[in-house]
């Protein structure tokens, strides 16, 4: 997916990474039928069955809302993923022939959720596209109405999350590395591609740890309301994320136990 208009450099890097995800999600799954070849059209919706998802094999699709171009889908993108959820009604069109590889929606999601890694990739794909659109909206607003949502570049030593603060965002570390501290003690690492800060958003409690960049990093900020809406619209994604957080909590508990033994040897 490419947004209309000027894009910052980090958005280009994120888009490149997102483009590689659909093929990974569909790896090992057979298409539902032969490749669908379409001529140029002003409205693709009538010819795309609602029970199918499509991998865009070649060509470019333009998505418009109220006849205003919003973004492009191109080779490697999934088409039809957002059907069935509340959204502005956008129109899909193409100026040149397309080739689309069809998959049954039910089979695609069954295939994805059968594997933990694919589930995590789908979460990254959806969150990445949501953040790109949110960033585009923020840049289109007048300066006095703009928010800090979108992307943020930080230097080593900068605090991404402060212990005790209210949880109003979930973060994704796109580039770099960070570390988690509780009361001054390091309790964990935040590697590239990690989603962090979601636990406090789910529970409504204040942040339980400091997260500090250990090297120059780029983070993606997802507003609390958008993140909760995404997980509520797809409970399986929420379940996958909760399982991931449970594993991180287990690692945190082990680290706390180790530190207690170091501080209070028998």
Same domain membership, residue 135 and residue 185? no
Binned at pLDDT 50, 70 and 90, residue 258 comes out as low
Angle at 237 between CA 233 and CA 238, to 5 degrees: 80
pLDDT: which is higher, 89 or 110: 110
| Cα separations in angstroms, 124 against 9, 117, 195 | 19, 11, 9
Same domain membership, residue 89 and residue 45? yes
Binned at pLDDT 50, 70 and 90, residue 24 comes out as very high
Same domain membership, residue 160 and residue 107? no
CB within 8 A of 182, min separation 6: which ones?
Answer: 163, 208, 209, 210, 256
**Encoded tokens for 116:** 């933990």
- pLDDT single digits (tens) 223-238: 888 777 777 766 666 6
Alpha carbons 68 and 95: distance in angstroms, whole number: 15
Same domain membership, residue 104 and residue 59? yes
Alpha carbons 191 and 153: distance in angstroms, whole number: 16
217 strand-pairing partners: 154
Over range 173-189, report the average pLDDT: 86
Over range 207-219, report the average pLDDT: 91
Range list of β-strands (E), the chain: 2-3, 36-38, 52-58, 60-65, 68-74, 78-79, 90-93, 98-104, 150-154, 159-161, 169-175, 178-182, 185-190, 195-196, 210-213, 217-223
Residue 97 has pLDDT above 60, yes or no: yes
pLDDT: which is higher, 200 or 251: 200
- 9-19 vs 116-140: helix axis angle to the nearest 10? 150
**Residue at a domain's end among 140, 158, 193:** 140
Q: Coil, strand or helix: which one is 58?
A: strand
pLDDT given for residue 144 in this prediction: 38
pLDDT given for residue 247 in this prediction: 61
Q: Mean pLDDT over all residues of the chain?
A: 79
Binned at pLDDT 50, 70 and 90, residue 197 comes out as confident
- CATH code of 194's domain: 2.60.120.10
**Encoded tokens for 156:** 């080593």
Residue 246 has pLDDT above 50, yes or no: yes
Answer yes or no: are the C-beta atoms of 213 and 153 closer than 8 Å.
no
Same domain membership, residue 160 and residue 130? no
The torsion angle over the Cα atoms of residues 203, 204, 206 and 208, rounded to 10 degrees, is 10
Same domain membership, residue 119 and residue 184? no
- Secondary structure percentages of the chain, helix, strand, coil, to 5: 40, 30, 30
Over range 217-224, report the average pLDDT: 85
Nearest to 105 by CA among 238, 234, 15, 244: 234
Binned at pLDDT 50, 70 and 90, residue 55 comes out as very high
pTM for the predicted model, two decimal places: 0.58
**Residue at a domain's end among 80, 111, 140:** 140
pLDDT given for residue 11 in this prediction: 72
Q: What is the CA radius of gyration of the chain?
A: 21
Number of domains forming the structure of the chain: 2
Q: Which domain holds residue 236?
A: 149-263
Residue 163 has pLDDT above 60, yes or no: yes
Same domain membership, residue 156 and residue 256? yes
Same domain membership, residue 7 and residue 135? yes
Binned at pLDDT 50, 70 and 90, residue 119 comes out as confident
pLDDT: which is higher, 158 or 128: 158
Same domain membership, residue 157 and residue 124? no
pLDDT given for residue 145 in this prediction: 32
pLDDT given for residue 83 in this prediction: 59
pLDDT given for residue 25 in this prediction: 93
**Residue at a domain's end among 77, 112, 140:** 140
Same domain membership, residue 35 and residue 131? yes
Same domain membership, residue 129 and residue 12? yes
Residue 139 has pLDDT above 80, yes or no: no
Q: What percent of the chain has pLDDT over 70?
A: 73
- 224-233 vs 235-263: helix axis angle to the nearest 10? 120
Same domain membership, residue 14 and residue 123? yes
């Amino acid at each position: 997916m490419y947004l209309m208009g000027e894009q910052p450099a980090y958005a280009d890097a994120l888009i490149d990474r997102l483009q590689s995800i659909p093929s990974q999600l569909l790896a090992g799954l057979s298409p539902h039928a032969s490749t669908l070849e379409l001529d140029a059209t002003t409205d693709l919706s009538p010819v795309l069955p609602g029970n199918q998802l499509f991998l865009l094999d070649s060509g470019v699709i333009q998505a418009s809302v109220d006849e205003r171009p919003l973004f492009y889908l191109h080779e490697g993108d999934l088409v039809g993923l957002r059907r069935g959820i509340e959204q502005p009604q956008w129109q899909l069109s193409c100026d040149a022939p397309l080739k689309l590889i069809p998959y049954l929606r039910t089979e695609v999601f069954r295939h994805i959720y059968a594997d933990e890694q694919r589930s995590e990739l789908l979460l990254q794909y959806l969150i990445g596209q949501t953040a790109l659109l949110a960033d585009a909206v923020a840049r289109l607003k007048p300066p006095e109405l703009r928010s800090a949502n979108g992307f943020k570049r930080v230097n080593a030593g900068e605090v991404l999350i402060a212990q005790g603060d209210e949880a109003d965002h979930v973060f994704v570390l796109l580039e770099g590395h960070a570390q988690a501290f509780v009361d001054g003690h390091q309790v964990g690492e935040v590697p590239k591609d990690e989603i962090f800060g979601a636990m406090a958003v789910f529970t409504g409690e204040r942040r339980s740890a400091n997260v500090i960049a250990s090297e120059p990093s780029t983070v993606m900020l997802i507003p609390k309301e958008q993140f909760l809406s995404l997980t509520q619209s797809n409970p399986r994604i929420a379940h996958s994320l909760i399982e991931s957080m449970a594993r991180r909590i287990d690692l945190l508990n082990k680290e706390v136990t180790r530190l207690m033994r170091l501080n209070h040897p028998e």
